[in-house]
Amino acid sequence: MPKSAYEIDQQSESVERYIVVAWVDNEAGVLARIAGLFSGRGYNIESLAVAQVDDERNISRITIATNGTKQVVDQINAQLLKLIPVHKVATYPIDDTSIFRELALIKFVAESDTLKKAEQLCIDLNSIILDKTPKSFIAQYLGTRREVDSFIKTIKPLGAISISRSGALAMKKGPETVKDNKGKVL
């Protein structure tokens, strides 16, 4: 007997990474309800990013990276749309029609020579130094998930002691916009 939605017949459909975006009312408990929907149905949340995007209408954008078949992602969308505070749901497959980025902050603490090597490597890899002391610095790196993974793997041996990542953010390329039920752009 399957334990989660991911254990459906995966020979007929391949499991892929998707970014699901929900525009919701910015109010207490909404994120918990959405996370509960995922966990209650056995869907995994790989990463999660939430922020208010419209002060006037009090709307937040929740961006969730998940893995599943097209059937599973369609089911996620249908379930999300049943929640009262959800205005709209969009799915972004990982392809050339969308832009995807993650942000990472990395703190380095090391002795002087190692710290200088780490700082130069961060600069060579196009990261930005946000804070610097004689014994530490914090670098910011922005890129795709793979680029962030590669950056972290490269610099971690030089003294990275704390890493914080934003999770996936996505936006459709071109002039196409997402609108709510009243025709307003979200």
Provide DSSP, 13-26: S--EEEEEEEEEE-
Q: How confident is the model over 148-182, as pLDDT tens digits?
A: 999 999 998 988 889 999 989 999 888 888 887 77
CA atoms within 13 A on the CB side of 129: 15
d(CA 105, CA 165): 6
Q: What is the pLDDT of residues 93-136, one digit of tens each?
A: 788 888 999 999 999 998 889 999 999 999 999 999 999 999 99
pLDDT tens per residue across span 64-79: 999 888 898 999 999 9
9/17 Cα distance (integer angstroms): 17
Question: What domains are defined for the chain?
Answer: 5-93 (3.30.70.260), 99-169 (3.30.70.1150)
Separation CA 80–CA 20 (nearest Å): 10
